[in-house]
């Protein structure tokens, strides 16, 4: 996650939380009175009852807005918190950056009393997203390497409800598939800088595919090929919300 000290400076401009996605996350945490945000970044999607956040990147911490929850600089694999200290922990588009996923999930279990909520993506679905499938094989490779299989996460969590998180056509949070109906956005380097699967790739590795995309947009080829997308209000691009009840949490005596 320290990579975000390098690639995270565009987040305030390009990664504004989408209120429809926020509503789904907040619903999963609605009955929780004390929430911890792990891998918190700039604080997107934190519900009002968030009492603390953990984030390793100084750049991301410095971009958290005034009034957001207090943030501790630390990693998910070593949370500087007591056992059983919060009702719930949330982790939004972050587990793919953790150096030791099992240790990070163990830490979430250790500090929570009730619930763990994780937003991630299912690469078996996302791999078919047109940007990856048709234009950017290097981004596909990076996304493959970063992704955590949903079944692995469910197992580590000790079971979880898996909800589809559809991406609205006008999504305000510029993550990887956010611009599925606005393809020209992917030609903007500032937009790409906020997406790990593109930000981790070198510009030369993306250049050929981006040039083909620009040509296809100018010629109308993209619009002909994907005319059905232009009629859709939302898309299942593979994003998933995992909701787990923490049966492994230590109980207060």
Is residue 160 domain-resident? Answer: yes
Q: Which two tokens stand for residue 212?
A: 């083909």
pTM of the model: 0.92
Is residue 13 domain-resident? Answer: yes
Cβ count near 239 (within 10 Å): 24
Confidence (pLDDT) at 82 = 97
CATH code of the domain covering residue 214: 3.40.50.150
Is residue 71 domain-resident? Answer: yes
Is residue 145 domain-resident? Answer: yes
Q: Does pLDDT of 9 surpass 60?
A: no
DSSP one-letter code for 65: P
Is residue 24 domain-resident? Answer: yes
Q: Does pLDDT of 74 surpass 70?
A: yes
Q: Which residue has the higher pLDDT, 15 or 59?
A: 59
Is residue 252 domain-resident? Answer: no
Confidence (pLDDT) at 184 = 98
SS3 25: helix
DSSP class per residue in 198-253: HHTS-HHHHHHHHHHHHHHHHHTHHHHHTTTGGG-SEE--SEEEEEEE-TTSPPP-
Q: Does pLDDT of 253 surpass 50?
A: no
Confidence (pLDDT) at 3 = 52
Q: 246 falls in which pLDDT band (50, 70, 90)?
A: confident
Q: Does pLDDT of 250 surpass 80?
A: no
Q: 2 falls in which pLDDT band (50, 70, 90)?
A: very low
DSSP class per residue in 101-158: HHHHHHHHHHHEEEEEEEEEE-HHHHTTSHIIIII-HHHHHHHHHH---HHHHHHHHT
The total domain count for the chain is 1
Is residue 250 domain-resident? Answer: no
Q: Does pLDDT of 252 surpass 50?
A: no
CA distances from 121 to 30, 130, 143 (A): 22, 16, 10
Q: Does pLDDT of 247 surpass 80?
A: no
| Domain residue limits at 52 | 4-245
Distance CA 203, CA 131 (A): 15
Q: Tell me: the pLDDT tens digits for 193-238?
A: 889 889 888 889 999 999 999 999 999 999 999 999 999 999 999 9
Is residue 251 domain-resident? Answer: no
**Average confidence score pLDDT of the chain:** 92
Confidence (pLDDT) at 174 = 94
Q: Could you tell me whether strands 86-92 and 35-38 are parallel, antiparallel, or unpaired per DSSP bridges? A: parallel
């Amino acid at each position: 996650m320290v990579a975000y000290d390098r690639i995270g400076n565009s987040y305030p401009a390009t990664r504004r939380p989408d209120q429809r996605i926020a509503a789904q996350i907040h619903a999963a945490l609605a009955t929780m009175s004390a929430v911890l945000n792990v891998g918190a970044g700039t604080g997107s999607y934190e519900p009002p009852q968030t009492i603390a956040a953990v984030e390793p990147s100084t750049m991301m911490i410095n971009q958290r807005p005034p009034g957001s929850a207090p943030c501790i600089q630390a990693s998910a694999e070593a949370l500087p918190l007591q056992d059983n200290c919060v009702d719930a922990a949330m982790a939004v588009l972050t587990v793919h950056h953790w150096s030791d996923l099992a240790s990070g999930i163990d830490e979430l279990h250790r500090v929570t009393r009730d619930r763990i909520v994780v937003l991630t993506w299912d690469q078996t679905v996302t791999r078919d997203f047109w940007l990856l499938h048709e234009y950017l094989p290097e981004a596909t490779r990076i996304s493959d390497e970063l992704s955590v299989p949903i079944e692995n996460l469910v197992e580590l969590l000790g079971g979880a409800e898996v909800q589809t998180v559809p991406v609205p056509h006008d999504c305000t949070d510029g993550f990887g598939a956010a611009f599925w109906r606005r393809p020209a956005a992917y030609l903007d380097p500032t937009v790409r800088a906020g997406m790990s699967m593109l930000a981790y790739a070198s510009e030369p590795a993306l250049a050929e595919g981006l040039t083909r995309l620009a040509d296809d947009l100018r010629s109308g080829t993209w619009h002909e090929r994907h005319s059905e997308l232009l009629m859709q209000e939302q898309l299942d691009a593979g994003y998933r919300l995992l909701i787990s009840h923490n049966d492994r949490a230590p109980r207060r005596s």
